[in-house]
Amino acid sequence: MRFYRLLQIRAEALLAAGSHVIILGDLNTAHRPIDHWDAVNLECFEEDPGRKWMDHLLSNLGCQAGSHTGPFIDSYRYFHPKQKGAFTCWSTVSGARHLNYGSRLDYVLGDRTLVMDTFQASFLLPEVMGSDHCPVGAVLSVSSVPAKQCPPLCTRFLPEFAGTQLKILRFLVRLEQDPVFRQSALQLSNQTPVQMRQNKARVRSTRSRPSQAGSSRGQKNLMSYFQPSSSRPQASPNLELPSLGTLVTPKTSEEDVMASVVEGRAKASEAKNEKEVRTSFWKSLLGGPLPMPLCGGHREPCVMRTVKKPGPNLGRHFYMCARPQGPPTDPSSRCSFFLWSRPN
């Protein structure tokens, strides 16, 4: 509500200065019952503070003379006053977009003179995916007039978009120094060069020195970390290699080849059968996950969900219909089936 009031103050100030104003975007409030899929079942729908604010901001074109007339017009309702199912936001968790079970939270608002004189159309684009909201837009019959300079609050004047690399000093904040730290720093700055050399020598003398044996050797060679393995047999210098003529591969008969092939296939078959026996054993022992129950409305497998609302049931699992959320009168929408999951 503070954001709403600040937005209205800013918009009305621009109107008072002689400018036209368009308020475009997600206002996060469904204004009228026609803009919400379940307004009938919502308690005190008209008493919502956000809707009351929009009543004060907008002009009701169908109202009687003498009633409140706001400075702005909802451009979509100006061109489509009785269009039902015109929604711009749907729950992605329940898949409500498949059945258009949503609400209209995104608007193109304009001041009365601008909408009546220059707006030609206002539209929604529910077929454009990529978000839980869909784009909205309007068509204006105006000509663009270039300004001499950008407005002071233009985005191009922000440091992030200035086109120059920010320095790290912009992210650092100077802190007030502690009095003790300031006094010690002042004492260090007043020391003479002789005193500074004596302090450095005292610091070096307190450091631990390496052993004399290590310092005498100096830096080790990389090869000193690698030692020959004693497990590898050493080649004898008197060993004679056989001549090339003695290396003759014995001929294998065709029967021996066939026997080895048959033996290999038999071993593979035995290993496969053994694997299948082990798999069936573990399946019979563990049982695997239980099958999903069927919902009462469609007799289809359910989906498991987890309670995330704080309370005594936080973290518990339950089953519900897997179909997307929709109007209760639509048979293709989610049924009211609910079942708690058994604890493991």
Annotated binding site for Mg(2+): 26, 28, 132-133
Q: How far is CA 159 from CA 61, 148, 154, 172, 215, in A?
A: 43, 22, 11, 15, 55
Compute CA 99 distance to the chain's CA centroid, rounded to the nearest angstrom: 25
- What is the rounded CA–CA span in Å between residue 129 and residue 88? 11
The residue type at 88: T
How many C-beta atoms surround the C-beta of residue 124 within 10 A? 19
Q: Across the chain, where does the E strand assignment appear?
A: 22-26, 72-74, 89-90, 102-103, 106-111, 119-124, 136-140, 303-306, 317-320, 338-340
What are the residues whose beta carbons fall under 8 Å from the beta carbon of 8, sequence distance 6 or more?
A: 53, 57
47 exposure class (CB count in 10 Å sphere: 0-12, 13-18, 19+):
exposed
How many C-beta atoms surround the C-beta of residue 130 within 10 A? 7
Using an 8 Å Cβ cutoff, are 326 and 332 in contact? yes
Tokens found for residue 217: 């050797």
| Among 77, 97, 79, 80, residue whose Cα is nearest residue 88 | 97
Residues of the binding site:
26, 28, 132-133
322 exposure class (CB count in 10 Å sphere: 0-12, 13-18, 19+):
middle
